[in-house]
Structure 1
Amino acid sequence: MSDRIFAQQGDTLDALLWRTRGFGPDDLVGVLEANPDLAALGAVLPLGTVVTVPEAATPTPRTLPLIQLWD
């Protein structure tokens, strides 16, 4: 089973996937394969575009490594 998400105004595919599912660049290929006509819409998705997210996609952790300026 797959999940569906909807684009907001000004969304790019990578921004939409990051905001809603925490997906990174490695997950774009699977999403584009599940939505073959999506690339033809251009870089900025039209408002309300339905994007099918395959179940096989794995989320990228949304945490960044801790950087300490002092010991």
Structure 2
Amino acid sequence: MRRLPLPDLVRVALTRFHAMQMAERRVAGERYEASGYIVVDELGGVLNGAPASAWIVRFDHVMP
């Protein structure tokens, strides 16, 4: 794992988003795909194209 310096705003937002993803993972149970990616949908599926813009909207809700 590589550590990068992040502004506090980004670090807090990513920490909150991770907590939101863990909650979604619990709800999805065995349907959740552990892809290892950061930008995923509610079931852990990789996003690309139009769905990626939906991720930005979801991420915006966790910004401090």
The structure with the largest strand share of the pair is: 1
Same fold (TM over 0.5): no
TM-score (norm 2): 0.26
Bigger fraction of residues in helix = 2
